Amino acid sequence: MTQDELKALVGQAALQYVVPGEIVGVGTGSTVNKFIDALATMKDRLPGAVSSSEASTQRLQALGIRVFDANEVEELSVYIDGADEIDDQGYMVKGGGAALTREKIVAAQSRRFVCIADESKRVPVLGRFPLPVEVIPMAVGRITRQFARMGGTARLRTRDGHPLVTDNGQQILDVIGLQIRDPLGFEGEVSQWPGVVTVGVFAHQKASVCLLGTASGVQTLN
Ligand code: 5RP
């Protein structure tokens, strides 16, 4: 099976976690796009979704799924999203699609986080994928130096030769060279640095369940 087929497999499998009659939290990325396409088949049984990015909002709306503002909803039963890395404890690195801040917000207001990913995303220790960190532009230099003191090299993410601007009007640093052996401690520490909007380690909002697409089918990790 191709990686694209594995993504479609887990996107479809995630439908079993969607509660008919309830608003669903929707993440961002190519795997989530497969989930959104599958979700359209049950749109008549759903009030709609809370979305984690402008890109997902557009896709949901194009398929006729209503998108609610996060502030209109107190709690969601389930949030479905992909990951750039996931370890055996359900700790993740996210933000490859630059949507990490809104993803963490929607995850935090959801009782259950269902991660959908192909098996290439599974790692023993977080840190292989460059760690995305959303930052306030005036703090880029200072935060880059703080990561250097930890042994990491931070690079400003660009698009078309210019710094990428997130849905929140901020920038992204991608940090290589880190081995994140204590995801909870790391997330807590980096989140405190002035100018950090969101660090892409999802430890406090870890996955409750992971649907992993493998050559032999969907593997469910709890
Ligand atoms: C976006 C994310 C995505 O969930 C993550 O990058 C995985 O994306 P894909 O499913 O395309 O591999 O965190 O900010």
- Amino acid symbol at 207: A
pLDDT band at 211 (very low <50, low <70, confident <90, very high): very high
Atom of ligand 1 nearest to the CA of 27: 4
Return the biggest CA–CA distance within the chain: 52
Q: Quote the mean pLDDT of the chain.
A: 97
Read off φ and ψ for residue 205, nearest 5 degrees: -110, 55
According to the annotation, is 4 in a ligand binding site?
no
Output the CA 94–ligand 1 centroid distance in Å: 6
pLDDT average, residue stretch 169-191: 98
Within 10 angstroms of residue 136's Cβ, the number of other Cβ atoms is: 15
pLDDT average, residue stretch 16-30: 97
Q: Which of 75, 85, 103, 119 is catalytic?
A: 103
Dump pLDDT digits (tens) for 118-167: 999 999 999 999 999 999 999 999 999 999 999 999 999 999 999 999 99
pLDDT band at 12 (very low <50, low <70, confident <90, very high): very high
The encoded tokens of residue 177 equal 């060279």
DSSP string, 140-158: HHHHHHHHHHTT-EEEE-E
- Amino acid symbol at 75: E
Model's pTM, two decimal places?
A: 0.96
Confirm whether 103 is a catalytic residue: yes
pLDDT band at 1 (very low <50, low <70, confident <90, very high): confident
Output the CA 97–ligand 1 centroid distance in Å: 5
Pocket of ligand 1 (CB under 6 A): 27-31, 81-84, 94-100, 103
pLDDT value, residue 139 = 98
Is the pLDDT at 222 greater than 90, yes or no? Answer: no
Output the CA 133–ligand 1 centroid distance in Å: 14
pLDDT value, residue 94 = 98
Query: Pocket of ligand 1, candidates 7, 30, 93, 134: which has the most ligand atoms within 8 Å of its Cβ, to mutate?
Result: 30
Dump pLDDT digits (tens) for 68-105: 999 999 999 999 999 999 999 999 999 999 999 999 99
* CA–CA gap between residue 56 and residue 214 (Å, rounded): 25
The encoded tokens of residue 157 equal 């993410």
